[in-house]
Chain A
């Protein structure tokens, strides 16, 4: 159940073991797909596996929201707690949101012709075995 009042935060990435359970689960639950490329959260390594893991995911911008601003068709609706929700019906597939996001958290599904946008449902956090990811109250 998605609460509009909560946002996902990757707060303990130092503890990440790189299992990608978050990606596998997000893709399955939110896109009904087995491919990690469909996940709205991406775990990356820097400097190979001996480097640190980082989570590339929506930072739940509030107020001025770059992706929503860039959207020409009003398909990205601001969430109260931060971030956006995608209205698939309105999306024209222009990919401006993809380039607008400073942390590159939005990828583009070339089959569905839709952006893959985190909706802060927190399913990734539920399947994170090291509690790196948290669904928290969106307080400033």
Chain B
């Protein structure tokens, strides 16, 4: 905790209801966040058991200075991903980081399976495992409504919950945090479902005196100024990430109709301007972020004759517009919001769900599966059918949706159509078909996400492609992000939190760390993550990339698999060098 030379970890065993709090001075060298969570995962995971075995842990962690500087707002979750079978790592904003710090914990480790559906209520030192039988089966939004009524802590609490998809162990089920944020990727929702854990509510009233007000407030003000008074964050606040739709489309990198194409003819109809004009009703922020990138879109839906309407409000972002928009050939903002709403209710990761349906659509077109399987005439551009399909997927309606709920890689391996199953190492791809930087980045990235090392940015920043330089950039970025994610900053603020600022922020909060120390910590964390992946049997050289990635041209033209392979090999060598170092 802040100003204490120890990491406070709350251990909860759902099987035995045993609660334990440990002050771990030995974890200080991991700083917090992804560092502490990685170490705790390595200690508690059981590689020989399946990812959803009840003994497996799920870990939440915040950072050393969470909540006291602008945009240090995220919480990291680590687990064994039921989707990929290896390292699971996901981030959520909302109020969770602040609530955890007010509850007085740096990290929580949850193990075991509750004998009946349960939820965890944490109010500072009081931790209770409560009966969730009545709320089991509820949609994610409704669970939130009930818990807000049932539990105290309004204004300072955070509520996490899963929808039916998590209960049904859909391998890419998400966890909703405070209505508009999520642990989206890699299936934390299924991990909670496998533990009979429907929800968690976190609150507390811990207060901490500012130790060195002058230094602290000087740094706080300077960070606040740079995020609110410069244009560094303007993109995220103004139109939001949806501004990327048209940019990425113009580059020829917007995966469209299951990446049969790299451009979408209706991109201008679903871009940031279109959403702002048609649907944007308000912006919101995670606690402690003056930027406020959460864009809420509203649309009116006629649900019956007789002028019967209801109004839905959902958050939208670039990735969702890609996966439930261009990738499915959906060309209006209303329809995309409608599909986002389906993933919210059921509690599924919007990227994975969209990619799964895109694969199903092409499979149906090509006769790999039949309508007897899909139960619906899935077709690109038909959002009504997709809405229903998302409902079927969320509750795993029949054998087909059972298989699809295991993930797109599994579906391709089961039915055929592997070559157009858009996944890397089991994780469905994000919306950037930019080139080798992206493809290699996804393959070698610790969690196979564009946020591991920003390969898409590497592709966009280089004019003449140098594969060795690209690999080095990916590696350096992944390493630096280990540090940023140990603080658990919002990565949108990565340019604000350069080394100088990170150093100043930590020093003003009493952490006497030098730049060299920070590099050592980053390496220590990355080494731990690589070790975990190795223990879980992952080798990036064994990843089979679908042919589709090499058929549809990227912004650097068609990609040569031989180059991809060389780049992955070079990256693996760099990892071996790191693993041999003593950090």
Contacts and interface: CB of A to CB of B under 8 A. Distances in A.
A37 B102 contact: yes
Interface string B475-510: 000000000000000000000000000000000000
A29 to B, nearest CB: 7
A129 B68 contact: no
B353 to A, nearest CB: 22
Interface in A23-59: 24-25, 28-29, 32-38, 42-45, 48-50
B98 A28 contact: no
B286 A19 contact: yes
Given A29-B217, A34-B2, A36-B156, A19 B102 contact: no
Nearest to B207: A35
Contacts of B145: 48
A92 interface: no
B179 A49 contact: yes
Contacts of A43: 155
Contacts of B154: 44-45
Contacts of A127: 224, 290
Interface in B265-288: 282-288
| Chain B facing A: main interface SS | loop
Contacts of B285: 17-19
B66 to A, nearest CB: 10
B2 A20 contact: no
A1 interface: no
Interface string B94-106: 0000100010000
Contacts of A129: 228, 290-292
Contacts of A25: 220
Contacts of A32: 209-210, 213
Nearest to A53: B284
B287 A20 contact: yes
A127 to B, nearest CB: 6
Contacts of A50: 179, 313
Contact of B284 (A17, A21, A36, A38): A17
Contact of A49 (B178, B209, B292): B178
B70 interface: yes
A38 B156 CA distance: 12
Contact of A111 (B207, B224, B287): B207
Q: Size band of the A side of the interface?
A: 20 to 34
Contact of A42 (B155, B220, B294): B155
A130 interface: yes
A17 B282 CA distance: 8
Interface string B201-218: 000011111100100110
Interface string A1-31: 0000000000000000111110011001100
B535 interface: no
B437 interface: no
A48 B148 contact: yes
A33 B216 contact: no
B208 A35 contact: yes
B67 interface: yes
A22 B102 CA distance: 17
A48 B179 contact: yes
Contacts of B178: 49
Contacts of A29: 217
Interface of A: 17-21, 24-25, 28-29, 32-38, 42-45, 48-50, 111, 127, 129-130
Given A37-B205, A37-B207, 18 more contacts: A17-B284, A19-B291, A20-B98, A21-B290, A24-B68, A28-B68, A28-B210, A28-B217, A32-B209, A33-B209, A33-B210, A34-B2, A34-B207, A35-B102, A35-B205, A35-B207, A38-B207, A49-B180
11 contacts: A17-B294, A18-B284, A19-B287, A21-B288, A24-B288, A25-B220, A28-B220, A32-B213, A35-B206, A49-B284, A129-B292
Interface of B: 2, 67-68, 70, 98, 102, 144-145, 148, 154-156, 178-180, 205-210, 213, 216-217, 220, 224, 228, 282-292, 294, 313
* The 9 residue pairs across chains A and B that have the minimum distance between CB atoms: A35-B207, A17-B292, A19-B285, A129-B290, A49-B179, A17-B285, A34-B208, A32-B210, A21-B290
